[in-house]
Amino acid sequence: MSEAATVATPSTYNPPKDGNLLLDVRGLKKYFPIQKGLLRRVVGYVKAVDDVTFFVREGETLGLVGESGCGKTTAGRTIIRLYEPTGGEVYFKSRVLSPSGEPQWVNMAALDRAQMKLVRQEIAMIFQDPINSLNPRMSVGDIVAEPMVIHGKYGPDSEQVIISLLERVGLRADHLRRYPHEFSGGQRQRIGIARALSMNPRLVICDEPVSALDVSIQAQTLNLLQDLQKDFNLSYIFVAHDLSVVQHISDRVAVMYVGKMVEMADAEELYTAPLHPYTEALMSAVPKPDPLYKSERIIMQGDVADPSNPPSGCYFHPRCRYAVDICKTKTPEFRELKPDHYVACHRAEELKLRGV
Amino acid sequence: MTAATLPTKKSQARQVSQSYWSLVWWKFKKNRIAVIGGIILILMYFCMAVIPEFIAPYALERKSSFTEARPQTIRFIDAQGNFSLRPFVYGLERKIDEQLRRRTYVENPQVKYYIYFFVKGDPYKLLGFIPWDRHLFGVDPSIKDAHIYIMGTDSNGRDFFSRIIYGGRLSLLIGLIGQLLTIILGSILGAISGYYGGAIDMFVQRFTEFLNAFPDIPLFMALAAAIPKYWSPITVYFMLTLILAFVRWGGLARQVRGLILSLREREYVLAAKSAGASDSRIMFRHLLPGTMSHVIVIATLSIPGMILSETALSWLGLGLRPPLTSWGVLLQEAGTVYAIRFAAWQLWTIPFILATIMAYNMLGDGLRDAMDPYSAR
């Protein structure tokens, strides 16, 4: 592809030593302006995603958790440029933009429209709402075929491809010409999954894909996603607020609070040995299927900080049980404290925190 | 890519499910009043817009010596009480009203003209290219001076029923064509305004407000008065259609904009965007189809307004002018005290206008209910 040659790998970017990365997000920012008055004067910004750094390895699932409004959905959408990022870099090891066919690092935040369109073949999205995410006026076949049509890849054999995709996600070939309103929530989510897979992507951003489903259907859908991951060698960014779901599906988990990344680690380690007080508080809220277990929930004081007017220093300090003076003034750095365990807390070394 | 491009196997075809529009149709069929309204409209459009030359017993400009003659009643029983299966009319006879000192016509029971179907009459070109001379009904052309004026004649002795049929063509089509232009203009501008937002939205919205702030009739008058007198009647007709559409698209554009604003936040739009769909694909494939049901209902319910505007303008003498004949022109000719006093049959246009408007409202109400086929009712 000729346009691929124009994508210069920025000299400032050093591909990480970890050769297995697929996506490397550095300092991603998305500020939404607050406008007031007749002239739409900008009076401030909602810092929905504020300096977020994380990475995804090939073939793994990264869970992205946090309370509602913490910016996890916005982060997912900003990566794929549904929202234009305010700042930061999103490096992706792209195949389509590489002249040689060897995966090549590109900064998605800096691509132009045409290049971005090409990269979109490699990144797909699964949405939360199974009713709203399918156009009611289009048949299932048309919905699943749409990415192919957009990229000019719809050919005479495509219908067969779509049928096999539908069968792979647990639907039938004769569903092809039906319309979304004829399906249950779980089936609709399967249609959404089939659409996401139609261009054979390498990275799938799952935006709360099961939170609108019944619990029994949730399990089926999660298992389907895991099977597909193996078959198609997919990497997932799994945005969710349900901690047990995230624990079930994720290899690694990243925790967000008010637009900032607070901790990222291996799922097992994050759940058993959190390093950030916010993670500890979250973990104490995970329900346990043990009737004899005495819950010791950590009740956080105060409200979630306002992303348009965040507190000074560490955003979590007004609610933190362990806060000291430095937390009020200095923003903690997101650093690798233990191998592959990242945390943004001044006192991470000294605190002994409780896991699940 | 549409479902039509996918090959349909027979085994699958049997299982093909209900698309949105087939559900709408299924629900619409159950609403009897709406179906009646629709049938009336189809009949009117077919008779008046497609084959008026055949339906009308006389040509549009066929003059006769019977000026301002009263309507002849269609009869089966004559003055002697004899029944005849074939309907007939009495011939008209000229009389001088001594009191009013004017000419009048009375039915003469001595002269009977039987009514035949498919009689030979004035030649015409059906659909503009098939030469023919048969008319749906009429009286035996071999009898000299045989005439049938079931709705009387005008001051030039032209059959009024024929003129209503011909006039319907222009009046009905101006509503339809004008509304079509309104839909195209309104939905495209509304979609652009709602989808892009910002300065474009600001400009389109202020422009529609500017148009809406004008009182309709003076604006029509100003625009209609700007049409040069020397233009051919058919150009004038299309200009008038354009003017009507131009003044009326604003409301529709606003409604479409509002719908687009809510639809564009739907996740299926985000899904298309994340797959790399272009703006025009999102607008025309995802957003506008979602507004179409709403637009069709609004359009159906506002066609009567369009027809009435034409009628009103023509009646004021600002719209269509003779020799073009529309219902507004006919009303204008009948709009004198003299005509109402002595030739009241010239008001026969009004029931036709009313029927059209009623039928449109019946149809539009039914469509409004049917367009939401997922509702429980």
- For A141, which of B6, B272, B275 is closest by C-beta distance? B6
Within this chain, do residues B129 and B211 fall inside the same structural domain, yes or no?
no
Q: Tell me what pLDDT residue A17 has.
A: 64
CA dist., res. A334 & res. A253, Å (int)? 15
Here the ipTM equals 0.84
Whether A7 has a pLDDT exceeding 80, the answer reads no
Q: Which of A53-62, A241-250, B5-14, B336-345 has the lowest mean pLDDT?
A: B5-14
User: Nearest chain A Cα to B291, which residue?
Assistant: A137
User: What residues in A contact B270, CB-CB < 8 Å?
Assistant: 77, 82, 125, 127, 133
| Confidence tier at B359 by pLDDT (50, 70, 90) | very high
Within this chain, do residues B251 and B327 fall inside the same structural domain, yes or no?
yes
Whether B1 has a pLDDT exceeding 60, the answer reads no
Within this chain, do residues B106 and B230 fall inside the same structural domain, yes or no?
no
Question: A147 at the B interface (CB within 8 A)?
Answer: yes
CA dist., res. A79 & res. A123, Å (int)? 10
Peptide bond into B323 cis (omega under 30): yes
Report the number of distinct structural domains present in chain B. Answer: 2
Reading the block at residue A345, the tokens are 């807390």
Q: Tell me what pLDDT residue B373 has.
A: 61
Q: Which of A71-75, A182-186, A292-296, B336-340 has the lowest mean pLDDT?
A: A292-296
For tokens 């306002």, name the residue: A306
Q: With an 8 Å Cβ cutoff, are B286 and A135 in contact?
A: yes
Q: With an 8 Å Cβ cutoff, are B6 and A121 in contact?
A: no
Nearest partner of A162 among A135, A132, A139, A133, judged by Cα: A139
- For B17, which of A127, A129, A178 is closest by C-beta distance? A178
Whether A16 has a pLDDT exceeding 80, the answer reads no
Q: Tell me what pLDDT residue A222 has.
A: 92
pTM of the model: 0.77
Within this chain, do residues B70 and B113 fall inside the same structural domain, yes or no?
yes
| Confidence tier at A234 by pLDDT (50, 70, 90) | very high
In a domain, B314, yes or no: yes
DSSP A208: S
pLDDT in tens, B26-41: 888 888 999 999 999 9
Q: Tell me what pLDDT residue B13 has.
A: 44
Cα→Cα distances A344→A50, A229, A263, A310, A315, Å? 13, 30, 6, 16, 10
| Confidence tier at B108 by pLDDT (50, 70, 90) | confident
What proportion of chain A, given as a percentage, has pLDDT over 90?
A: 28
User: What residues in B contact A141, CB-CB < 8 Å?
Assistant: 3, 6
Q: With an 8 Å Cβ cutoff, are B1 and A179 in contact?
A: no
DSSP string, A252-286: EEEEEETTEEEEEEEHHHHHHS--SHHHHHHHTTS
Give the distance from residue B260's alpha carbon to the nearest chain A alpha carbon, in angstroms: 14
> In the listed set B106, B133, B158, which residue is the last one of a domain according to the structure?
B158
Q: Tell me what pLDDT residue B90 has.
A: 85
Q: Which helix (H) or strand (E) holds B297?
A: helix B288-315
Question: A150 at the B interface (CB within 8 A)?
Answer: yes
pLDDT in tens, B255-287: 899 999 888 888 899 999 998 888 889 988 888
Burial A216-249 (b: 16+ CB within 10 A, else e): ebbebbbebbeebbeeeebbbbbbbbbbebbbbb
Question: Could you list the residue range(s) of the whole structural domain that residue B80 is in?
Answer: 62-158
User: Nearest chain A Cα to B265, which residue?
Assistant: A132
In a domain, B340, yes or no: yes
Within this chain, do residues B134 and B171 fall inside the same structural domain, yes or no?
no
CA dist., res. B55 & res. B165, Å (int)? 8
Question: A40 at the B interface (CB within 8 A)?
Answer: no
In a domain, B103, yes or no: yes
User: What residues in B contact A199, CB-CB < 8 Å?
Assistant: 275
Question: A153 at the B interface (CB within 8 A)?
Answer: no
Within this chain, do residues B128 and B246 fall inside the same structural domain, yes or no?
no
CA A174, A179, A183, A185 dihedral sign is positive
Q: With an 8 Å Cβ cutoff, are A134 and B268 in contact?
A: yes
In a domain, B56, yes or no: no
Q: With an 8 Å Cβ cutoff, are A139 and B277 in contact?
A: no
In a domain, B14, yes or no: no
The A341-343 sheet, strands edge to edge: A123-126, A203-207, A235-239, A61-65, A252-257, A260-266, A341-343, A335-338
Give the angle B139-B145-B148 at the CA atoms, nearest 5°. Answer: 40
- For B276, which of A136, A150, A177 is closest by C-beta distance? A150
For tokens 């498919």, name the residue: B118
Identify from A137, A175, A193 which residue to disrupt to test chain B contact, counting B C-beta atoms within 10 A and taking the largest count. Answer: A137
CA dist., res. B274 & res. B257, Å (int)? 23
Q: What is the CATH number of the domain that holds B219?
A: 1.10.3720.10
A331: left (phi over 0), alpha (psi -120 to 50) or beta: beta
Task: Count Cβ atoms below 10 Å from residue B13 Cβ, excluding itself.
Answer: 9
Within this chain, do residues B234 and B263 fall inside the same structural domain, yes or no?
yes
pLDDT, average across residues B55-68: 81
Within this chain, do residues B203 and B325 fall inside the same structural domain, yes or no?
yes
- For B272, which of A116, A146, A192 is closest by C-beta distance? A146
Q: Tell me what pLDDT residue B91 has.
A: 83
> In the listed set B138, B158, B178, which residue is the last one of a domain according to the structure?
B158
Q: Tell me what pLDDT residue B101 has.
A: 80
Whether A239 has a pLDDT exceeding 50, the answer reads yes
Q: Tell me what pLDDT residue A11 has.
A: 42
Whether A71 has a pLDDT exceeding 60, the answer reads yes
> In the listed set B102, B123, B158, which residue is the last one of a domain according to the structure?
B158
Give the distance from residue B289's alpha carbon to the nearest chain A alpha carbon, in angstroms: 7
Q: With an 8 Å Cβ cutoff, are A127 and B286 in contact?
A: no
Q: With an 8 Å Cβ cutoff, are A135 and B290 in contact?
A: yes
- DSSP three-state, residue A102: coil
Task: Count Cβ atoms below 10 Å from residue B29 Cβ, excluding itself.
Answer: 13
Give the distance from residue B186's alpha carbon to the nearest chain A alpha carbon, in angstroms: 21
Whether A101 has a pLDDT exceeding 80, the answer reads no
Within this chain, do residues B206 and B126 fall inside the same structural domain, yes or no?
no
Nearest partner of A282 among A132, A70, A101, judged by Cα: A70
In a domain, B309, yes or no: yes
The most confident of the ranges A178-187, A223-232, A283-292 is A223-232
| Confidence tier at A147 by pLDDT (50, 70, 90) | very high
Q: Which of A78-87, A93-102, B159-168 has the lowest mean pLDDT?
A: A93-102
User: What residues in B contact A35, CB-CB < 8 Å?
Assistant: none
A133-202+209-236 maps to CATH 3.40.50.300? yes
Give the distance from residue B297's alpha carbon to the nearest chain A alpha carbon, in angstroms: 17
| Confidence tier at A145 by pLDDT (50, 70, 90) | very high
A10 or B129, which is more confident? B129
Q: With an 8 Å Cβ cutoff, are A142 and B281 in contact?
A: no
Q: With an 8 Å Cβ cutoff, are A177 and B17 in contact?
A: yes
Interface of B with A (CB under 8 A): 1-3, 6-8, 12, 15-20, 266-268, 270-278, 281, 286, 289-290, 374
Give the distance from residue B204's alpha carbon to the nearest chain A alpha carbon, in angstroms: 17
Q: With an 8 Å Cβ cutoff, are B273 and A82 in contact?
A: yes
| Confidence tier at A3 by pLDDT (50, 70, 90) | very low
Question: A82 at the B interface (CB within 8 A)?
Answer: yes
In a domain, B337, yes or no: yes
Across the strands, what pairs with B132? B124
CA dist., res. A139 & res. A127, Å (int)? 18
Give the distance from residue B3's alpha carbon to the nearest chain A alpha carbon, in angstroms: 7
pLDDT, average across residues A118-129: 91
Q: Tell me what pLDDT residue B2 has.
A: 45
- For A133, which of B20, B268, B278 is closest by C-beta distance? B268
Question: A135 at the B interface (CB within 8 A)?
Answer: yes
DSSP A112: -
Within this chain, do residues B238 and B133 fall inside the same structural domain, yes or no?
no
- For B20, which of A137, A141, A146 is closest by C-beta distance? A137
Within this chain, do residues B187 and B86 fall inside the same structural domain, yes or no?
no
Within this chain, do residues B146 and B184 fall inside the same structural domain, yes or no?
no
Q: With an 8 Å Cβ cutoff, are A149 and B374 in contact?
A: no
Question: A235 at the B interface (CB within 8 A)?
Answer: no
Identify from B19, B267, B288, B375 which residue to disrupt to test chain A contact, counting A C-beta atoms within 10 A and taking the largest count. Answer: B267
Q: What angle do the packed helices B216-225 and B233-263 form, to 10 degrees?
A: 140
Give the distance from residue A308's alpha carbon to the nearest chain B alpha carbon, in angstroms: 22
User: Nearest chain A Cα to B6, which residue?
Assistant: A159
CA A15, A18, A19, A22 dihedral sign is negative
pLDDT, average across residues B300-309: 85
User: How is chain A split into domains, by residue range?
Assistant: 133-202+209-236, 274-343
Q: Tell me what pLDDT residue A6 has.
A: 40
User: Nearest chain A Cα to B7, which residue?
Assistant: A159
In a domain, B10, yes or no: no
Q: With an 8 Å Cβ cutoff, are B17 and A80 in contact?
A: no
